Amino acid sequence: MKIWMDVMRELELVLYDYERQFDAWEEGGVTGLVIGPLTFAAAKLLPVSGTRYVEGDTPPFAPYDPDPAVYKRFGVQAPPPPCDKAPEKRVLLEKMLVNAKKRGWTVLIFQAGTGAGPGGGNLITDVRSQAAMTARMVDTLAHYPMIDGAVMDGPEWGYEIAEHFYKRRSFIFDNLPAEVEPSCRELGYAYSELVAAKDRFYERLHHLTPRAIEAMAGGGLFGALALTGSDPGLVAWFDYRIDSLTHFFRVVRDGIAAEHPGAVIGCGPRSASFAPLCGYDLTHLAQFMDILLPKHYFWHRGFDGMLGTVGRYVEVLTEWNPSLSDAAALSVVEALFGLRLPGVTQRSDLETALTPEFCAQVVTRETRMALAAVDEPKRIVPWVDAGRMPHDGDPVSAGFLGQMLRTAQNAGLERFLYHHAGNLTAAEWSVMSALCGKPWQPLQSGYIPADQMVL
């Protein structure tokens, strides 16, 4: 098992001290670097102690000037150049990337489309928005020829059922705005029929009964279809989500390949069980994406964590249907996603769900499902996070982190992406380095993980 390290947003946490940090990471088993979005923080960001920094009030800005010719080729408007050129930082950034490549690491830019010029609407479906993002990615890759490629995290269709959660992750029943109608038509779907099916599903989930769940939820595919009303329109709605998102990634991938044919391009779905709900079909994406980075995010609360999403589904379904017990709502979750959480029969059990049995069953399943979508294990590089920042979740222990990684390794996983270096704790690095490289010895190495609690 090897580590790819994510350096996200606050590049200055690594920029001024990259050689020492890279040496420690390499010793601990790091063989890849995912860095970005490529923005610099305030020009007067100053070191305080070790690798800790104080941020000023200036908003982040791009580390390079756009090449107008690239955007002209894509028929879109180029974004304005940054007012602050930060020449010293630009030189440092290039030296840092070259240093990483000289170590033999895979180096990828995260969200290389950040800073794109104006589009025209929903990124998943709007042609102009897709062109603007693709142009920005092409421009970014051209400015840093020493790197291998780029990783996209989103866009995706919403997956949360809690309406109050809208500002964090899009409410699933608010995912068919009128602006996507042309996309539906082009992909062979009738927009009005999808909207009607979505609304019927919404109503269906408000009228669940214990008897219906008992009769249908455990009946596999046919039981789940019956539970949702055996509605062909509902199947079409979810097919459209997959077709449209697959189309988006293919358009962007093809646009990059036309100008950077050797670039490694990846995208980050949610965990394998939730990925189809967001519009990701891992087997389809694996046909043209070089790597897939599913989220091995399992924490409770916050956002993007498996237990947090399950908990919100239970909370909302029992609120919509007061006759349902937590156990009945969990049966609906299992019918929809195939997720059975060992030892969890009510929402309070989610507080203690991250057990050895959870690893043996759920982590193994999520890992094997992802690996089954590709022809070789190295093309699956799951994001791994301890939950607290930037996801606001209940932090998982370093002990569980190590157990989860060992379980995934036993299931066939060869590498993972730690998210992200600014939040790396001493305990997490101790566990990961012992598993993937030379165990970290803090008194000997002189390296201390940043542990910054940053976004």
Q: Is residue 394 part of a domain?
A: yes
Q: Is residue 147 part of a domain?
A: yes
pLDDT for position 59: 79
pLDDT for position 455: 74
Q: Is residue 387 part of a domain?
A: yes
Q: Is residue 73 part of a domain?
A: yes
pLDDT for position 41: 86
Domain count, the chain: 1
pLDDT for position 209: 96
pLDDT for position 166: 56
Q: Is residue 86 part of a domain?
A: yes
Residue 256 near residue 138, CB atoms below 8 Å: yes
Beta bridge partners of residue 7, listed in sequence order? 35
Residues of the chain below pLDDT 50: 44-53
Q: Is residue 47 part of a domain?
A: yes
Q: Is residue 339 part of a domain?
A: no
pLDDT (tens digit per residue) in 240-278: 999 999 999 999 999 999 999 999 999 999 999 999 999
CATH code at position 295: 3.20.20.80
Helix (H/G/I), strand (E/B), else coil: 356: helix
What residue numbers bound the domain in which 300 lies?
2-174+241-304+356-445
Q: State pTM to two decimals.
A: 0.94
pLDDT for position 26: 98
Residue 122 tokens read as: 């929903």
Helix (H/G/I), strand (E/B), else coil: 168: coil
CA dist 426 → 7, 220, 392, 409 (Å): 16, 44, 19, 22
pLDDT (tens digit per residue) in 101-153: 999 999 999 999 999 999 888 999 999 999 999 999 999 999 999 999 999 99
Our measurement of the distance from residue 130's CA atom to the centroid of its chain's CA atoms, rounded to an integer in Å, reads 19
Residue 78 tokens read as: 């180029």
pLDDT for position 53: 45
Q: Is residue 455 part of a domain?
A: no
What DSSP element (H or E) covers 110? Answer: strand 106-110
